[in-house]
Structure formats: C-alpha cells, structure tokens
C-alpha cells in the first residue's frame, strides 16, 4: 500500500518483519506442543526458543533460488540453530504456518479497526446530539421534501455504523482462526492437539475443519464487511459533498489557513476529503470482488488465492484504518451553517408544507383526491411563478372556508416536523 494511505501502527502489522515474526512464533509454538506430547525433546525446544532467528535479506537470497517463501524462511531460521533445527516445521505444511499467522496478523489489525470504529461511532453520536434540533431541508430525489434536522441525519449514520460494527465483529471472528491440520486437513502427520495448542496461545479459534487451507469464504466475508464500511463512509461523504455545493452551503469541510483549493481559482474550497473517501471506497469494493474470486479453489487447495491475498488483506485493513481516521477528523471538524439551512428551507416558497395542508383538508371532511386536486395546481403555480404557496392558498375560498388562520399557521410551522426527534434518538441509542 502507498505510504500516503498507511498509518504507522497498521503499517507495522503488515511489515515483512512482523509477518516473519508471526511465522516464527507459529513454528515455535508447534514445537512446544510436540514437546508437551513427548514427541520431541524439551531441551531442543528451549534451544529453538532461545536461538531461532531470521534475517530478511537471507530469506530473500534463499528464495531467489528456491522460489518458495516458506521453504526459504525455514532454511534461514534453521541456519541460526544447531541439530535442533530438524524440529523446525516438523509435521507441518506451509499453509499451516501461513494461514495461522495470517489469522494472528488479522487479529492484530482488527484490534486497531475495532478502536477506529468505536471512536467513529462516538464522534457521530456527539455531533448528532449537538445538532439534534438544527432544522434543515430534507430532500428526496434532490428536491425539497419536508423539514428534518441535521441531528437526525447524523443519527441515521450512527445507526448504520453500529450495524457495521456488528457485521465486522462477526466477520473478524471468522478470520481470527488458525489451522494446523497438514497437507489435506486430515491431521495425518500432526495431531489435533498441536493445532489447538498453537491457536490457544495465539488467541485464535481452531478451525473445525479445513483442507490444506482455511475456507476462503471466511476471508471473503471479512473483506466484504470492510468494503461495506467503506461504502458507508463514502455515503456519508457524498452527503457532505452535496450539502457543500455553493448553491446549498449548509456544511463545509474544515479549510485550514494556507490551504489551497485550486491551482487556478483562488476562491475554491472543495470537499476533497469526502471525495477521497469515494475513491478509496471504490478500491475497497474491488478488493471485495477479488476476495469472492478467491473462494473457489481446486480440490484441497491451489495457490491462485495467494498472490491476490498478499495484496488485498493488508491493503484493505490499511485503507479502512485510514478512511475511518480521516473521515472521523472531517466530521469532528465539520463546519455546520444552521442559518443557511434555515434560509434554504424558504427557497421553495413554502411548498414543503403541502402535505400538512393536504391532511388538514382531509381532516375537515374532504376526500384525499379532492384535497390533492385542489392543492396541486397551486403548487405548480408557486413553482412556475416563484411565488408564496401560502398566499395562493389563502386566495382560494374553498380552502379558507375550511382552514382557519390558526390552522394555516400550524400547517406552515416547521416545529411540527420535529415532535418525534427525541423518540427517534432513543430508538437509535443516542442519549
């Protein structure tokens, strides 16, 4: 992954150094399990634990000849040992080490992502409370519909993120797994005790059944859960972009002193952070497709998935870590313009209250069709002539004979639309 999108702690997890350390830890734990069974001498295990090491440049040198990364690794480690080196990789196949270590690395990555998600949810909840009653225009199909609040918009995001956290947790537990069951998953040359011992020590779940590899539907679900989180972030960013349009200008991404929006136009203040989220979400969804393609392997395994996973597993976690932190910062520092929100509500001449008038006429005995047909021509006139909708209604005796001034005032009062905001917040879980 590009350094531009790699945060330090997540980058460390996917470094060659950490990957080989995970491999070595898996190898050593397997030997510990063998020793517990009395199959290899404890003194040899102690020597391995004390002396086993590796040099990345040496691994690369050996791999240039062997064309096999795990063989190169085990040979490089063996060079740091004496006769006890014969117990390195004893009874194991390459993927016993690689898949189990992958599970361990993903577990490390997941801890960062869990923290990111919780922090993000808290930021959204705080902003939602801050703007709980900040009235603004609700839009459907891009057209003014009825009043809502900016807080409700954010509460919707919060509920979505909480669902995403649940999905991610389920998928994360799926890949926080190991397998040490041999070449085709039968435990022919290594007993199940070794698998359970290693997984317990690494804090992983021992997969119930596997072939030479862990089932890749687990990894597909994992990547898909992260791609879906990225898609939610894109959705939230798209909302910010829409509300930052010059003709709307209800929110703005923070624009720092000295920041430049355009090389040609000095006035430009663009929602580049939210646009960045859209681009990265596209990459994430591409990784999801690749993960789905990796599910179908030949028989007990082939390595068609391996080259893809070397890219998509680290890069997806790295990108999601970046996206969650960057968008959290965007939201935390978002400029909200309540006066513009309220001003924009008047841009459609009061038409946003048409349903309230419709329902009041129905309450007074009109059929729905009669009321609708009475009101709709006046909505068209207000649009076409850009004139006040209420004034047109008040010129029609069919309406004024039915609705009093008090009732008309009530119909055109935006506060009516906010009467259930508290209940919605309680449902969502924002106190």
**Looking at the annotation, which residues are catalytic?**
141, 262
User: Nearest to residue 151, comparing CAs of 134, 168, 174?
Assistant: 134
189 CB contacts (<8 Å, ≥6 apart)? 91, 182, 183
Give Cα separations from 383 to 225, 350, 389 (angstroms). 44, 10, 9
Assign 181 to helix, strand or coil: coil
**How many residues are given for the chain?**
431
Tell me 186's DSSP state. Answer: S
CA–CA separation, 14 and 182 (whole Å) = 25
In sequence order, what DSSP letters do the residues of 219-278 get, joined into one string?
A: HHHHHHHHHHHHHHHHHHHHHHHHHTSTTT-SEE----TT--S-SS-TT----HHHHHHH
Q: Using CA atoms in the order 60, 91, 32, 97, what is the torsion angle rounded to 10 degrees?
A: 40
Assign 205 to helix, strand or coil: strand
Phi and psi at residue 263, in whole multiples of 5°? -75, -20
Containing 154, the helix (H) or strand (E) segment is helix 150-175
CA–CA separation, 138 and 79 (whole Å) = 68
Contact 407, 360 (CB under 8 A): yes
Helices first, then strands: H and E counts in the chain = 18, 6
Contact 115, 9 (CB under 8 A): no
CA–CA separation, 360 and 351 (whole Å) = 15
Kindly give the interhelix angle for 272-293 and 217-243, rounded to the nearest 10 degrees.
160
CA–CA separation, 236 and 281 (whole Å) = 12
């Amino acid at each position: 992954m590009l350094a531009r999108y790699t945060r330090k702690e997540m980058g460390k997890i996917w470094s060659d150094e950490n990957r080989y350390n995970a491999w070595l830890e898996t190898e050593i734990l397997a030997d510990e399990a063998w020793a517990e069974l009395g199959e290899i001498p404890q003194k040899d295990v102690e020597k391995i634990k004390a002396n086993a090491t590796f040099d990345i440049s040496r691994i690369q040198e050996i791999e240039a000849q062997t064309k096999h990364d795990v063989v190169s690794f085990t040979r490089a480690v063996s060079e740091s040992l004496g006769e006890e080196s014969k117990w390195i990789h004893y009874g194991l196949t390459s993927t016993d080490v690689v898949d189990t270590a992958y599970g361990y690395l993903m577990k490390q990555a997941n801890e960062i992502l869990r923290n990111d998600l919780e922090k993000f949810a808290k930021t959204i909840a705080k902003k939602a409370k801050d703007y709980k009653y900040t009235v603004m225009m609700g839009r459907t199909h891009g057209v003014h519909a009825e009043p809502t609040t900016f807080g409700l918009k954010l509460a919707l995001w919060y509920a979505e993120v909480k669902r995403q956290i649940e999905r991610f947790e389920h998928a994360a537990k799926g890949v926080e797994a190991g397998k040490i069951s041999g070449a085709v998953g039968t435990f022919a040359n290594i007993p199940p005790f070794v698998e359970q011992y290693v997984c317990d020590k690494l804090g992983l779940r021992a997969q119930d059944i596997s072939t030479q590899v862990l089932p890749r539907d687990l990894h597909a679900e994992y990547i898909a859960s992260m791609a879906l989180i990225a898609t939610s972030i894109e959705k939230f960013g798209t909302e910010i972009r829409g509300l930052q349009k010059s003709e709307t200008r209800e929110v703005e991404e923070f624009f720092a002193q000295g920041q430049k929006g355009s090389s040609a136009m000095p006035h430009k203040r663009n929602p580049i952070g939210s646009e960045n989220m859209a681009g990265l979400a596209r990459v994430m969804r591409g990784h999801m497709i690749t993960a789905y393609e990796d599910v179908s392997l030949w028989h007990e395994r082939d390595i068609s998935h391996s080259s893809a996973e070397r890219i998509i597993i680290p890069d997806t976690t790295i990108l999601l870590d970046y996206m969650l932190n960057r968008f959290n910062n965007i939201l935390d520092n978002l400029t909200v313009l309540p006066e513009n929100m309220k001003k924009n509500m008047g841009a459609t001449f009061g038409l946003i209250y048409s349903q309230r008038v419709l329902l009041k006429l129905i309450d007074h005995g009109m059929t729905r069709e009669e009321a609708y047909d009475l009101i709709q021509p006046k909505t068209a006139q207000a649009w076409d002539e850009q004139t006040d909708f209420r004034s047109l209604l008040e010129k029609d005796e069919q309406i004024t004979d039915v609705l009093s001034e008090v009732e008309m005032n009530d119909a055109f009062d935006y506060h009516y639309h906010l009467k259930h905001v508290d209940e919605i917040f309680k449902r969502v879980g924002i106190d």
